[in-house]
Structure 1
Amino acid sequence: MSLDLEQEYNNRARVPESADIIASWARDAAAYRETHPPRVVRYGPGERNTIDVFEAGAGPAVMYIHGGYWQAVDKSFHSHQARGLNALGVSVAVPSYDLCPYVRIGDIIAQIRAATIAVHRETGAPVIVSGHSAGGHLAACMLATEAHVPAAYAISGIFDLAPLVPTSINAKVGLDAVEAQAQSPLFWPAPKGKTLDAVVGAEESSEFLRQSATMVAAWGEAGVAARYEEIAAANHFTVIAPLADPHSAMCERVAELARQNFS
């Protein structure tokens, strides 16, 4: 029996309360910016080519990349994802980027590459890249290609884009089979000697569980220190909530990755 890929990948349809959760992100993010105003860093010429840097002193830096299937939201929905790490003494950079259909996924990868370079230049430190959903895909892309990115913490990432081609998600993204293959980090040379955590909500679809497990298996066999974890009682939208809590195991792990790679 073949999988219903639309059902597997259409997370907003899978989680009826997703609109309310996303609205709560915007409120929580605005509240965090109110009490912790970020420093804005420009990394490119476009209106969206800016990064909010939530500083927590000298030391390691984490860049958090938002999701939205490369076609929705921006950094303003995710400021509070810096709260937990800031409380642990880790600075967090949250970039926006241009969205499909106005750009291609390859263009977004190039923009995030420029953003990591800007964060590295600003902090003088290695950049641990984290991201959710499409942001998890972008985090893996950065780990694969950027020397100043020693570790990535990908949450509910999509590492093989081919299953998206026949779904409604692709209406704006516009992938064909060739582009999907080319922009899938699962098929890129593995960054041997680096670290990848691929975590996913235990209540997510079988395809999202497979995506992370397959990525960890493939890159792990190729010499990456790869780790898979299912976050208990979490769906595609609630899985990132622990980033706002400095006492969460998720925050402690990302902070550990940052400290391990800071010199």
Structure 2
Amino acid sequence: MSDKPLDLEAEYNNRAAVPDHPVVMARWKADAETARAAHPPTALPYGSGEREVMDLFEAGPDAPVAVFIHGGYWQALDKSWFSWVALALLEHGVSVAIPSYDLCPNVRLGKIVSQMRDAVELIRARTGKRPVVFGHSAGGHLSACMLSEGRAGGAVAISGLFNLEPLVPTSLNAALGLDAREAAALSPVHWPVPNGSTPGGTVLDCVVGAAETAEFVRQSRDMADDWGGKGVDTRFEALPGLNHFTVLDPLSDPDSSLVRRIVELAKA
């Protein structure tokens, strides 16, 4: 067994770990533009800020809604990159809301959590039901936060970050500005678990690419084990051959098990 210390920078810097990530991200952008042309969304403000808007792709007037929260380490990207995730779910009669949010360092991470509360609560007010929330990377973190607080009917966290403390010594923290105390306070692994006495759902799926760094795989496995041991209905799955960027590929396939799982939760 090696005593070599864990290289947190290498483990958590996904763009460095996947050199061809620009190719995948360019595909996201192109597919998103195609999706918006084929199925123009409704812009739905959830706050007064410029980025406090979500795109709502509607499957029908009474369709259940799933909320997708994008990644980018809380410091990059917006809703316009991810319109394509809606298309497969629309085929199953599930509407999709994709919010943007303010980015660090312009705001603190706690503000982004608050913004996602507002976005999810707006969907709940429109439908009368807590939506299923699914998200990637930073969006996986935010999805787990929404489930903990009883705002979601279930959550699917894809390559999620549930313990933020390992980020503190990395370059990724330059924009976040987290100290150890704030990182711990904003880590959903330390938050109350949803249970039978908590409004909302009690299902958390932790999905990760099997080709991701060991730390990302560990975070998903540990979160599923931790909350599962406390009574949450958790599932852990490592998708073979997929890295931190290609792990989203199954969301484009209406027949993928990941899409079918989100549909199942949304319609439950």
Match of 1:90 in 2: 94
- How far the C-alpha of 1:122 sits from its partner, in A, is 2.1
Of residues 150, 154, 168, the one that matches 1:151 is: 154
Q: How does the TM-score come out when normalised to structure 1?
A: 0.97
CA distance in 2, matches of 1:125, 1:89: 16
Contact 1:162/1:181 (CA < 8 Å) preserved in 2? yes
3-state SS in 1 of match to 2:114: helix
CA distance in 2, matches of 1:248, 1:152: 17
CA distance in 2, matches of 1:29, 1:69: 20
- Counterpart of 2:22, as a letter, is A
Deviations 1:4-57 (A, max 9, x none): 000000000000110111111111001100010001110011000001000101
Of residues 180, 185, 190, the one that matches 2:188 is: 185
3-state SS in 1 of match to 2:226: helix
Deviations 1:189-222 (A, max 9, x none): 1112400000000000100011001101111111
CA distance in 1, matches of 2:134, 2:228: 18
Aligned sequence identity (%): 54
Match of 2:139 in 1: 135
- Matched ranges for 1:63-74 at <5 A: 63-74=67-78
- Counterpart of 2:59, as a letter, is A
Q: Does 1:247 align with 2:255?
A: yes
Match of 1:213 in 2: 221
Contact 1:100/1:173 (CA < 8 Å) preserved in 2? yes
- Counterpart of 2:47, as a letter, is G
Q: Does 1:232 align with 2:236?
A: no
Match of 1:44 in 2: 47
3-state SS in 1 of match to 2:223: helix
Q: Does 1:80 align with 2:88?
A: no
Match of 1:169 in 2: 172
Q: Does 1:26 align with 2:29?
A: yes
- How far the C-alpha of 1:120 sits from its partner, in A, is 1.3
Of residues 111, 116, 119, the one that matches 2:115 is: 111
> What is the count of residue pairs matched by the alignment?
259
Contact 1:66/1:134 (CA < 8 Å) preserved in 2? yes
Q: How does the TM-score come out when normalised to structure 2?
A: 0.95
Unaligned runs of 5+ in 2: 197-201
3-state SS in 2 of match to 1:79: coil
Contact 2:150/2:194 (CA < 8 Å) preserved in 1? no
Q: Does 1:7 align with 2:15?
A: no
Unaligned runs of 5+ in 1: none
For the aligned residues, what is the CA RMSD? 0.8
- How far the C-alpha of 1:232 sits from its partner, in A, is 1.2
Displaced runs of 4 or more, over 3 A: none
Contact 1:113/1:146 (CA < 8 Å) preserved in 2? no
CA distance in 2, matches of 1:126, 1:184: 22
